[in-house]
Amino acid sequence: MDMLINPTVVELSRLQFALTALYHFLFVPLTLGMTFILATMETVYVITGKQIYKEMTQFWGKLFGINFALGVATGLTMEFEFGTNWSMYSHFVGDIFGTPLAIEGLMAFFMESTFVGVMFFGWERMSRKAHLVVTYLVALGSNLSALWILIANGFMQDPQGGTFDPNTMRMQFSSFIELIFNPDAQAKFVHTSIAGFVTGSMFVMGISAYYMLTNKRKDMALRSFRIATLFGVISSIGVITLGDALGYIDGQKQPTKLAAMEAIWNTDYNTVSASWNLIAIPSRSEQKNIFEVSIPYILTPLLTHSETTVIPGIIQLEQEAKPKIVNGIKAMIALKEYNLDRSNTQALSTFKQYENDMGYGFLAMQFAPDQDLKKINATNLPSVLDKTAKDTIPNVWVEFWAFRLMVAAGFFMLALFAFAAYFSLKNEIEKHPTLLKLAMWSIPLPWVACEFGWITAENGRQPWTVFGWLPTFVSASSHSVGYMVFSLIGFTLLYSSFIAAELYLMFKYARLGPQDDHHGHGHGSAPAGGGMAGQPVFAKPSMDRK
Amino acid sequence: MKNLLTFIGLAAIMVLSLFLAVITGDYGPWYFAWLVGTTMVVLISAAGAIMFDRQDEEQQQKQGSIH
Ligand code: HEM
Cα dihedral: A174, A177, A180, A185 (round 10): -80
Lowest mean pLDDT among A81-90, A177-186, A247-256: A81-90
Domain assignment present for residue A436? The answer is yes
B53 interface with A at CB cutoff 8 Å: yes
Domain assignment present for residue A490? The answer is yes
Asked if A206 and A292 sit in the same domain, the reply is: no
Asked if A100 and A238 sit in the same domain, the reply is: yes
CB A361 within 8 A of CB A323: no
Domain with A236 in it: 7-256+394-532
> Which residues does residue A280 pair with via DSSP β-bridges, in sequence order?
A292
Domain assignment present for residue A283? The answer is yes
Asked if A214 and A184 sit in the same domain, the reply is: yes
Asked if A235 and A275 sit in the same domain, the reply is: no
Domain assignment present for residue A292? The answer is yes
Asked if A280 and A244 sit in the same domain, the reply is: no
Asked if A297 and A188 sit in the same domain, the reply is: no
pLDDT at A526 over 70: no
pLDDT at A467 over 90: yes
Amino acid A305: pLDDT: 85
Domain assignment present for residue A133? The answer is yes
Q: In B, residues 10-39, which contact A (CB 8 Å cutoff)?
A: 27-31, 33-34, 37-38
Asked if A39 and A115 sit in the same domain, the reply is: yes
Asked if A436 and A298 sit in the same domain, the reply is: no
Q: Which of A456, A459, A464 most suits a substitution to test ligand 1, by most atoms within 8 Å of the C-beta?
A: A456
ipTM: 0.84
Domain assignment present for residue A381? The answer is no
Amino acid A466: pLDDT: 92
> Which residues does residue A277 pair with via DSSP β-bridges, in sequence order?
A294
Amino acid A535: pLDDT: 39
Minimal CA separation from B21 to chain A, in Å: 14
Amino acid A3: pLDDT: 59
Asked if A171 and A287 sit in the same domain, the reply is: no
Asked if A217 and A276 sit in the same domain, the reply is: no
State the Cα–Cα distance between residues A191 and A197, nearest whole angstrom: 10
pLDDT at A524 over 50: no
Say if the Cβ atoms of B45 and A177 lie within 8 Å.
no
Judge if pTM exceeds 0.80.
yes
Amino acid A416: pLDDT: 96
Asked if A279 and A164 sit in the same domain, the reply is: no
pLDDT at A110 over 90: no
Atom of ligand 1 nearest to the CA of A198: 30
Say which amino acid occupies A85. Answer: N
B7 interface with A at CB cutoff 8 Å: no
For residue A32, the chain B residue with the least C-alpha distance is B38
Amino acid A444: pLDDT: 95
Amino acid B67: pLDDT: 55
CB-count burial class (<10 Å; 0-12, 13-18, 19+) for A532: buried
Tell me the average pLDDT of chain B: 85
Q: Sorting pLDDT into bands at 50, 70 and 90, what band is A282?
A: very high
Say if the Cβ atoms of A189 and B34 lie within 8 Å.
yes
Q: Which of A248, A406, A450, A466 most suits a substitution to test ligand 1, by most atoms within 8 Å of the C-beta?
A: A406
So where are chain B's domains?
2-66
Q: Is the CB of A538 under 6 A from ligand 1?
A: no
pLDDT at A196 over 90: yes
Say if the Cβ atoms of A50 and B53 lie within 8 Å.
yes
**What's the number of domains chain A is made of?**
2
Reported as a single tens digit per residue, the pLDDT across A143-159 is 988 898 899 999 999 99
Domain assignment present for residue A185? The answer is yes
Reported as a single tens digit per residue, the pLDDT across A478-506 is 778 888 888 888 888 888 888 888 888 88
Q: What are the DSSP calls for A351-362, one per residue?
A: HHHHGGGHHHHH
Amino acid A397: pLDDT: 95
Amino acid A44: pLDDT: 95
Reported as a single tens digit per residue, the pLDDT across A206-257 is 999 999 999 888 889 999 999 999 999 999 999 999 999 899 988 889 999 9
Best mutation target among A181, A201, A202, A430 (most B Cβ atoms within 10 Å) is A181
Tell me the average pLDDT of chain A: 86
Q: Sorting pLDDT into bands at 50, 70 and 90, what band is A400?
A: very high
Domain assignment present for residue A538? The answer is no
User: Among A333, A320, A321, which residue's Cα sits nearest to residue A368?
Assistant: A333
Amino acid A516: pLDDT: 55
Q: Is the CB of A70 under 6 A from ligand 1?
A: no
State the Cα–Cα distance between residues A99 and A115, nearest whole angstrom: 23
Q: Sorting pLDDT into bands at 50, 70 and 90, what band is A521?
A: very low
Asked if A147 and A171 sit in the same domain, the reply is: yes
